[in-house]
Each structure stands twice: as C-alpha cells, then as structure tokens.
A and B are shown apart, each in its own frame.
Chain A
Amino acid sequence: MSLLLQHGTVIDPAQDLEKQADLLIERGKISRIGKIQAKKSWQVVDVTGCIVAPGFVDMHVHLREPGREDKETILTGSRSAVAGGFTSIVCMPNTTPVNDCEAITRLIRGRAREAGLVNVFPVGAITKGSWGVELAEIGEMFKAGIVAITDDGHPVQNSQVMRRALEYSKIFDIPVLDHCEDLPLSAEGCMNEGAVSTQLGLRGLSRSAEEVHVARDIILSRITGGRVHILHLSTRESLDWVRVAKQQGIAVTCEVTPHHFSVSEHDIKDYDTNYKMMPPLREPEDVEAMIQGLVDGTIDAIGTDHAPHTRLDKEVPFEDAASGVIGMETAIPLSWELLVRGELVSKRRLVELFTVNPCRILKLSKGTLEEGVDADVTVIDPDQEVTIDVSRFCSKARNCPFHGWKLHGAPALTVVGGKIVHRDIAFAR
C-alpha cells in the first residue's frame, strides 16, 4: 500500500530541505518528495498547512516493563509515544530486573515488536544491576540491540568505573548516557536547593550535585575518548561546562527535557507532587539558559524523561513522592508553543532537536526523509490548539504538571514504517 501526504511543508534538516511538497511512501520506505500526482490505488492524506518531518525520536523514556507494569507497559508506552508524535523511543534500563543482560534486552525488543506501534531502542545498564560496581555484559547486550549504555536513576558514583565504561563503550561506538548526580551532594533533597526550598521547608538538592558529575564526566570523556551524552541537563553552569567542552572538541552531547525549559521551581504550588522530578525544576535563570542552549546549538536534543508513576506514588507528601513526570504526549505542543511560536527557534531547528540529532548521537539509521529509508514520519499541525488533558493520555500514568495548559502544535499524524499509527481526532481533513 502506498501513502501520499499531500500539500504539506516538508522539513528534513538532514537533507537541508524545507519546502512545500508531497511525500510518497511505498512499501514502508520513503519513495519521493516533490510534486506528485496521486494515483487511485494510493491512500492519500491532505496535510495542507502541516509540517511533514522525519519521525520524531524521544531518546529518553522509561517504559517500566518488565517489573512495574502498574506504572506503564511497553504497549501503553508505545501508544503514548505515537499519540505524542514519536516514531522511535529509547528506553532506559532501570526496570525490574534491570536491563543489564542480553535476555532482558531481547525481552524488551520482543514485547515492543508485539506491540507493533513504534520503534523501541533499548539502552543497557553500564553496571550489573546498576549497582555501580562491575561492568555489565555490554557486548552481549549490544548484539541483542542496545544503542547506548546508562545507569540512569542510579548514577555511577565511582569515577574509575565510569572511566572504564567510557573506555569500553568505544568497542561498540555507543554513547554513555549520563545521569549526572553526585549522590552524597544530593543528600536526599527533593527539590532545587535555594530560597524556594528554604521557604517551603523542603530538603534542598544542591545544583552542585549535577555539575560535579558533568565536569567529572567531561574530563573522563577527554581522557578516554568515550562519548558522553548528558541526560536531562538542568543548570546554566552545567551548560557552560558542555559549551566549553564542545569548543575543546571533547565528545560530549546533551539533552534537555521539555519541563526544564517550560517551568521553574517558582511554579511548584501547594506542594503539588507533579512538579517533583530529578533533576528538580531549577531557577528561572536556568530555564532561560536552557532556552539559550536550544537556540545557540549547545543543546543537541530534547528528550522527555517520560517517567510514569501511579497515583499512589504521587498522592503523598512532597518529600515522600516518587520523582518524575510523563512527557511524550506533551513534548511537541510544549516545544512548538514555547520555542517555535515563541519565535525562539526555527521550525527546522526544532525538527533537528527531535530527529537527526538524537539519531546521530545514537547512530540510528533514522531521523531523515531520504529516499529509501524507513518511512517514519511525524506530521504536526502547527495551528491546532491543544488543551492538555491528563484524562485523555494514552499513557497509563497521569503525573503531569501541564494539565489544562492551552498550547498550539498538535501531533496530527504519526507514520511508522509506512503505516499510520496515530491520527489526531481533530485532524479530520
């Protein structure tokens, strides 16, 4: 079956392309971009006024399966992804058990295939059980399909272990996804340390906990030549470290989450636990810096850190609540509204942050609309108003602080491997 997306604006940063054109998909692959006469046997969708982009990649997702299927499963996470406009997601290994061996990697990939909605790329653990002591069998997991390694959520405290991991990762040319947090400095803090935490009487978490590890791992990357990708970077000083490291040619990249460029610690109202996440929401100056990093290119990608939790995990006092916010179904509207409609970044730059950049970091043969590649396409209706409604999420979870926000930029159509896997209800044309 052939699929023709007619009259859209095709944006593909990998090909330096931005023009009014039709996009033809044949046998699951991108066939042609240009002025294309529709044939009777084709499925034709009129996407006038919409952006037609390579399939968006969320390089930071927690799917919770195996182990915490009450929070999310690979199936519900896949549904959430395609509803949010993502065609590929990269899932973190902090499941139960941890994805630290070939068998778990295969299990995740198998379940993802059964779900059959979205490309799921697992990330393996750096260390066995993510205990931070012995390296996991990274080579075996690599053969089974991991695209990176990380101990996200259980950051490697021992610098020597981190150094070895960076060295070892070079065999497979995979990046080490780095959750930067010096745990003794975090000291069980539950929000950013500063005037607001002091006022709320909540234990503060020093920004230095992140920055110490950012600096450490940039140094270790320089020494080893291993590639470091800083996950959910959140402070302006962390960004400065990355900026300097990049100028020096060190193999470091970084991502920011939508919540870290949308809200600050000042938005935490009435101890609402939906505002609790790791790293915590920072100061307004940090939010500004994240936006600046997105504008000037220091930040390579937007990753949501989609972290589903149950009601019970969140309906407790702030300090006892689980950390995390779900993000896949709000990422595009938030980014479109704040960054593109806010005239901070171009449409093309936004597409780059979600497509070619994460694919380059992870060496995925995706993120472009070049002829012959898998037909993963994200169509965004830039003028469609979106009111965030947690009760309508496809994710199992509801932990999202953006309920009720009115935004623009709807994931109108999601195509994976040439197949339409999501079509927005409002997108009736």
Chain B
Amino acid sequence: MTNSKPNSLSSKHLLGIEDTPMADIELILKTARSFKEISSRPVKKVPTLRGKSIINLFFESSTRTRSSFEIAAKRLSADAVNLSVSASSMGKGESLIDTARNLESMNPDIIVIRHSAAGAPRMLVDYCRDCSILNAGDGMHEHPTQALLDAYTILEHKESLSGLKVAIVGDIAHSRVARSNTILLSKAGARVSICGPPTLIPPGFEHIGGQVTYRLEEAIDQADVVMMLRTQLERQSEVFYPSVKEYFDLYGLSERKMKWAKPDTIVMHPGPINRGVEIDPDLADGHNSVILEQVNNGVAVRMAILYLLLGADEETEP
C-alpha cells in the first residue's frame, strides 16, 4: 500500500533500506531534525501520536534499540508495549506467525520487530494486514533504523553524504548494520570501503555496494568516517580468525591507525562495544568518537519514522 501525501513515506512499512527510496530517506532525516529538540526540553513529550499503539516485539535481546524505540514512542505520547520473546524458548517460526496474528488482533498501529531470522519482518507483512511493520533488525539482513541514525549523525558533522569516504570495518558477514549502511551510503553517493578478514566478508558483497579490501590501511586511508562493527566473540569457534589479539592487531582501531584517516574523521560504532577487541578503549571515548551521539540521535530518528508511518497523514504536527 502506498501513501500519496507529499509529507509521508512511499510505503506503509519500513523493512529495509534496500526498498526505501532516497526521497523517503531524506524525508526521515529532515523530520528527525525537527524532532531532536524535543528530547532536550524540560518536558520531553508532545501529543503527536496520542492514542496510537506501538508494540515492540523483540525476539533477540537488545538494550539500546529496544529502549530507543520505547523512548521514541513515549515522547510522541504513543502507547508502547514491549514484548521480549526468546525465540529459542518457543517453537520458532510457528510462534512468530501465531504471535503476530494475536498481536494484530489487538489492533496495534505499528509492530516494531527484531528477529534472528532474515525475512521475519517480511513474513509479518503477509500476516498483519492493517498495521505497519518496522524492522528493528532481522538476522544478517537489514537494520534500517540504525543506518538512518548513522546517516543523521554523519550529517551533523559533514555537509553531505555525497563524496564522503566511509570505511566499514569488522565482521561484515554477520552484520545487518554493514548491509543497511552500505546500501544507504551508496545510494547517497558516498564511497564505502568494506574491510575485514576474508573469512568475514561474504561473497558478492560488492553487489550491495562498496569496495572490498582486506587491508585496514587501505580502508581507512583518507576516510571521513570510520565505522567499526562489533566483533562477535562467540564466533571464534568457527575458525574465522585465530585469536582476539591477532584480530585487534590486524583490524582493531588504534591511535596509530587513526593517523591514516583524515584529521577530522569521525569514529562510529553501532554498539555494544567490545573495548580492546575492535577498538582501543581510549579511542571509543576520544574526541573523534561520535558513538554516544549515535545513541542520542537514534531516539530522534525513530521518533521521525514512527511519526511518518502514522501521524503524518493526520492533523498533527510536532
């Protein structure tokens, strides 16, 4: 279903960056700018989405993303219900459909879903006909709101995404953040450099966007943005790399390696950080780091998305 009003998104759902046109991305970023100020008011609440129900359905553990969505909903006066379901404790997919059907019967306006299986939000679209589905991360597929808040954060420091060099470094294979960011940044005209050990870069990643390199120096060279990904320590048993020590030596971000980048480069990380594994602890807190700004902007960007999915077609203005 498509909305036709000028100030609304082209789709009822936000499933991924891949199928989101640039105009929608720009509208979300523009709207987020006007929402950011709300969070710094003494009374951090506007009535924009009063009476709307939002269900945060999280099948994977999450602190940051879930609370970010919850706060975003509450600051817009929507009623947010948080459900944490351990996917492993239920019958996996059957329960996904049954859970979705049950929730749909309670007439929510948006279901925000995070699931360990790629395509789970797409499944919900088929089973929930009336409400909007918002992907908060599906398996190794996409994490669109993260890419949007990252773009927003970059634009607070750089004039335009177009022409920037962005290095995305780490476990590319298992990262939905890498996928969504690469798609968004490529669409916006940035040069994306994908870097990690060959064992953690899936085949054909260039088709998504970006240039692949196994050498960190090449990736970071003259970069405007360095985006470090979380290293999934539990994956070490799968022979992707020999040890954390060697990984940090080859792909970890340190002060020494920062010299390869531009002086005003910004360092990003979607969190949670493994200090000392992918990034030097001092760097994570250093003056180039915008890691906490990302978290801060996440609320504004998610407020904008909720608003555009729901409120924009009614007589409500922020």
Contact = CB atoms under 8 A, between A and B. Distances in A.
Real binding pair? yes
A267 to B, nearest CB: 15
A199 B203 CA distance: 10
Interface stretch (A41-49, A311-319, A410-418): A311-319
B9 interface: no
A378 to B, nearest CB: 38
A271 B15 CA distance: 13
Contact of A317 (B18, B123, B179, B208): B123
A201 B118 contact: yes
Contacts of A201: 118-119, 138-142, 176, 179
Give the interface centre of B93, B140, B179, B204 by most chain A CB atoms within 10 Å. Answer: B93
A58 B236 CA distance: 44
Interface in A227-272: 270-271
B115 interface: yes
B96 interface: yes
A423 interface: no
Nearest to B202: A198
A194 interface: yes
Nearest to A315: B97
Interface residues of B, number: 27
A202 B204 CA distance: 13
A193 interface: yes
Interface in B55-98: 92-94, 96-97
A198 B205 contact: yes
Contacts of B179: 199, 201
A320 B204 contact: no
A201 B141 CA distance: 4
A194 B140 CA distance: 14
A312 B96 CA distance: 12
B117 interface: yes
B92 A204 contact: no
A318 B92 CA distance: 11
A196 interface: yes
Interface residues of A, number: 23
Interface string A42-65: 000000000000000000000000
A103 interface: no
A294 interface: no
B129 interface: no
B202 A202 contact: no
B122 interface: yes
B41 interface: no
Q: Is the interface of B mostly helix, strand, loop or mixed?
A: mixed
A203 B120 CA distance: 14
A195 B207 contact: yes
B281 to A, nearest CB: 31
Interface string B142-177: 100000000000000000000000000000000010
Give the interface centre of A198, A201, A315 by most chain B CB atoms within 10 Å. Answer: A201
Contacts of B96: 316-317
Contacts of B140: 201-203
A318 B97 CA distance: 13
Interface in B185-242: 202-205, 207-208, 238
A317 B118 contact: yes
A88 B96 CA distance: 40
A71 to B, nearest CB: 16
Nearest to A316: B93
Interface string A391-429: 000000000000000000000000000000000000000
10 contacts: A187-B238, A193-B203, A194-B203, A202-B118, A204-B202, A312-B94, A316-B96, A317-B93, A317-B120, A318-B117
Closest 9 CB pairs of A and B: A316-B93, A195-B204, A201-B141, A271-B119, A317-B117, A201-B118, A201-B140, A198-B202, A195-B207
Interface of B: 18, 92-94, 96-97, 115, 117-120, 122-123, 138-142, 176, 179, 202-205, 207-208, 238
Interface of A: 187, 193-204, 270-271, 312, 315-321
Given A201-B141, A202-B140, A203-B140, 10 more contacts: A198-B208, A201-B176, A202-B119, A202-B139, A271-B123, A316-B97, A317-B115, A317-B123, A317-B139, A318-B117
